[in-house]
């Protein structure tokens, strides 16, 4: 650690979005970079709402730091190798430039005043980006809806205690078709040296739909090149339910409802086949824009069986994608719910 200049940031206020591009749902993110702002690597991954540390470890962190020091030692001779790790053009330079955040925060925390309220959280950046698109009546693209996919979206399970070591390959997944094996170490992706799972996510986040990613792996001491083919809808394998930013998606298209796919037992009790829509309302909001569903007559434990004519099986995230990419604010969507065994028709306002 003493080989680094260590900086701790606790706020998104005035964050340089042209430099610090990462998964804004994280509560712990690390950048390893040169004084000239060239990024060596990123660290910090998450895929679980309750267990924020499930996908990271001190061992993995230490290995990422060591690898960054090695890149630093060889810098700037290796600058071209790092080109893909650098930030992409940013629509707004700071969060405060997003219309929904403009004028609400000062650049610094107010330690002598209401310090908590003066702090902008990182997730607000993603919320603001989606709100910007929505307010412009634009569909929210998959990249914004499923940001920084975990490698399991491509069928790869990686060891949090390592930089990027494969611990499992899902049957039938793009990773399996590409030839990945358990025990493989991913050395580089798209030519970028990989320091962490977050570095893998960076490449995935910026990958096209569809795309073919080149990977160099180390298998039993031998370097092997692999091509990972990703289909056009590959991002949709990502789970977004854990993300705090999904809360605002619930406001936009579910009127504040939290939905969960019915269990087999619940389906049996309600006589709903497995291949049909059966999203149970686990929660209805009480306040403001999150109470739109409540005001429209939706109740906890209702089961949504038809939304905008869609009656096939959809998870909460899949329904959100359908609505966010097809329905704009102000539209009213017909919804049929099952309540106490009776079907009831309601309308849901898109926001």
Partner 1 sequence: MGAVKKPPIFFAGLLFLGVMSLSAAEDRKERVLNDRKEVEASGNWIYNDLPKGFAEAARTGKPLLVVIRCIP
The residue ranges that bind partner 1 (CB under 8 A) are 1-11, 15-16, 20, 22, 26-37, 40, 52-53, 56, 58, 61, 65, 68-69, 72, 108-109, 111, 115-116, 119, 121-122
Q: Which residues pair with 348 in a beta bridge?
A: 333
From the CB of 125, what's the least distance to partner 1, in Å?
11
Helices (H), 94-237: 123-135, 142-145, 174-178, 197-205
Q: Kindly tell me which of 115 and 232 has the beta carbon lying closer to partner 1.
A: 115
Question: 76 preceded by cis ω (within 30°)?
Answer: yes
Q: Report residue 344: phi and psi, to 5°.
A: -140, 135
Do residues 169 and 180 touch, judged by C-beta distance below 8 A? yes
From the CB of 33, what's the least distance to partner 1, in Å?
5
Can you tell me which residue has the tokens 């629509």?
91
Q: Report residue 40: phi and psi, to 5°.
A: -90, -35
From the CB of 247, what's the least distance to partner 1, in Å?
15
Do residues 257 and 284 touch, judged by C-beta distance below 8 A? yes
Q: Kindly tell me which of 15 and 252 has the beta carbon lying closer to partner 1.
A: 15
Q: Kindly tell me which of 32 and 203 has the beta carbon lying closer to partner 1.
A: 32
Q: Kindly tell me which of 1 and 171 has the beta carbon lying closer to partner 1.
A: 1
Closest Cα to residue 71, out of 45, 39, 44? 39
From the CB of 179, what's the least distance to partner 1, in Å?
34
Q: Kindly tell me which of 92 and 322 has the beta carbon lying closer to partner 1.
A: 92
From the CB of 3, what's the least distance to partner 1, in Å?
6
């Amino acid at each position: 650690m003493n080989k680094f200049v260590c900086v701790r940031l606790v706020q998104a206020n005035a964050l340089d979005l042209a430099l610090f591009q990462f998964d804004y749902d994280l509560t712990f993110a690390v950048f390893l970079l040169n004084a000239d702002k060239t990024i060596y690597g990123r660290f910090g991954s998450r895929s679980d709402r309750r267990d924020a540390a499930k996908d990271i470890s001190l061992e993995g962190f230490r290995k990422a730091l060591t690898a960054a020091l090695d890149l630093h030692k060889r810098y700037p001779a290796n600058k071209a190798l790092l080109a893909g790790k650098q930030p992409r053009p940013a629509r707004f330079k700071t969060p405060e430039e997003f219309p929904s955040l403009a004028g609400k925060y000062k650049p610094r925390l107010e330690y002598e005043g209401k310090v908590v309220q003066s702090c902008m959280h990182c997730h607000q950046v993603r919320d603001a980006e989606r709100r910007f698109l929505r307010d412009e009546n634009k569909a929210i693209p998959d990249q914004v809806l499923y940001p920084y996919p975990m490698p399991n979206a491509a069928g790869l399970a990686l060891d949090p205690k390592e930089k990027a070591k494969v611990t499992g390959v899902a049957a039938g997944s793009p990773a399996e078709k590409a030839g990945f094996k358990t025990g493989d170490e991913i050395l580089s992706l798209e030519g970028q040296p990989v320091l962490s799972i977050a570095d893998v996510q960076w490449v995935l986040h910026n990958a096209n739909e569809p795309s073919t990613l080149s990977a160099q792996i180390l298998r039993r001491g031998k370097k092997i090149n692999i091509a990972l083919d990703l289909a056009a809808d590959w991002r949709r394998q990502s789970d977004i339910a854990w993300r705090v930013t999904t809360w605002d998606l619930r406001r936009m298209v579910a009127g504040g409802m939290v939905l969960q796919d019915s269990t087999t037992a619940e389906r049996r009790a309600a006589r709903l086949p497995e291949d049909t829509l059966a999203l149970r309302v686990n929660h209805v909001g009480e306040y403001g824009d999150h109470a739109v569903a409540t005001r429209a007559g939706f109740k906890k434990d209702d089961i949504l069986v038809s939304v905008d004519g869609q009656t096939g099986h959809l998870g909460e995230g899949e329904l959100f994608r359908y609505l966010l990419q097809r329905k704009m604010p102000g539209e009213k969507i017909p919804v049929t719910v099952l309540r106490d065994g009776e079907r009831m028709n309601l309308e849901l306002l898109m926001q």
